[in-house]
Chain A
Amino acid sequence: MGYLSESFLEAIRLMASGDREFLACVSASVKFSAGSSTLASIAAVPLGVGLATTDFRGKRLVVDVLKTLLSVPTVAVGLFVYAIIFSQGPMGGLHLLFTPGAIVIGQTVLILPLITTLTYGAVAGVDPLVRGTAQTLGAGRWRTLYTVAREARAAILIAVVTGFGRVFGEVGISMLLGGNIAGYTRTITTAIALETSKGEFALGMALGLVLLFVSFCLNIAIRLLGGARQ
């Protein structure tokens, strides 16, 4: 058990000293997660709002498909994007494989259904009279949609934060599409996998502590946003 406490102390020292490798991994994880959450939200929030406020044939099927996509493993998403961007793939000419862009694309694909589904649920839960009230007060289609979505803004923010949390802790996509290149595509999770396989517990544990801390902060944020929602 001694190695655990030693690793823990070493982890604290690494964090306190601002170890370059450690900071590079944290920085990469934050950048990739922020990028993919932003991109996914730009597409998923309007999709979720549109889905919740429009009736069309096959809507239930679309929602069922989205919910099914929530449980797809990250490596499967990674493999799918890999097939598209590797040198022989349809987007091979863009030379994205083993770049930060590849990770961001993969992570965006991963959380698109998640944010869409959560946004859909949030907007579908808005009092139906809000829409009728906006319409009877003279709001056109877009202002009505905006008004309904605005009523669900706290829950939509929770959806985005949940998406960030999902990609911040994923490893399959980052490993498969990023290649775990030090100082370039190495993220917290891929570094933990690598360091642990090398028996270097200290850096792995320090990065694990950062993951735990970020997860804790996200939970606090979700709780506060949930409070604002009520």
Chain B
Amino acid sequence: MSDSAAYRITGLEHRFGQRPVLDIPDLELPHGEIGAVVGPNGAGKSTLLSIMALLLRPTRGRIVLDGVDCAGGGAARRGRLDVTLVHQRPVLFSTSVEKNIAFGMKARGVAKEEVARRTRQAAAEMRIEHLLGRDARSLSGGEAQRVVLARAFVLDTRVLLLDEPASFLEDSLLPHVEEMIVRRNAGGSRSTWIATHDAAFATRITHRIIRIEAGRIASIETR
């Protein structure tokens, strides 16, 4: 096993009730990669991302993130500071767009002026500066998706997990988001994993494509 692995997953099993949804005996994901998790609906892509985000504790198995076993609650909480997951459906808090984008930075204790500066910068990047003062509940699906992406990108965590990021995004903005992902990974210390069923999106920018079928890894394609 390589020391540069972002994730080492061993003996992973997850069940919802009695129904098995994931069975991954061994998986190692190096740092600096942009990867895609592809597969049909219900294959277990979102579940795998939730487990990688340390939000969902697997029924069995070990998740080692940056060399730290994240089995315990405390380790998982600390590990979450290095991982950001954008859910398939844009979830915004019922406050302003500005406060939504600033949420993660405030949770990390970033100084007020820095929060304001980075919030404006992230909004400009996602072309939503005009929405900053708006109530997040009043946004359209596409606008909401831009806000959740801005909120995730601004944290610049070592790992970024995107669950179907294109589903609510306008087609015209997709190349820009792809460019942001590539730029973020350019230094080699960041990883981005994208669950998608959009084959074109998966192949354009990714180094590795993991195909999941019925909760099991069917193939891993390295590019």
Contacts and interface: CB of A to CB of B under 8 A. Distances in A.
Contacts of A137: 84, 103-104, 107, 151-152, 155
B93 A135 contact: no
Contact of A132 (B85, B94, B151, B152): B85
Interface stretch (A143-151, A176-184, A199-207): A143-151
A188 to B, nearest CB: 37
Chain B contact patch, size range: 20 to 34
Given A129-B89, A130-B91, A151-B94, A140 B55 contact: no
A100 B89 CA distance: 52
Interface string A154-189: 000000000000000000000000000000000000
B107 A132 contact: no
Instruction: Identify whether the interface residues of A are mostly helix, strand, loop, or mixed.
Output: helix
Contacts of B55: 132, 135-136
B91 A127 contact: yes
B177 interface: no
B93 A138 contact: no
Chain A contact patch, size range: 10 to 19
A196 interface: no
22 contacts: A127-B91, A129-B87, A130-B91, A132-B55, A132-B85, A132-B87, A132-B91, A133-B87, A134-B93, A134-B103, A135-B55, A136-B53, A136-B84, A136-B85, A137-B103, A137-B107, A137-B152, A138-B155, A140-B77, A140-B107, A141-B77, A150-B94
Interface of B: 50, 53, 55, 77, 80-81, 83-85, 87, 89, 91, 93-95, 103-104, 107-108, 151-152, 155
Interface of A: 127, 129-130, 132-141, 143, 147, 150-151
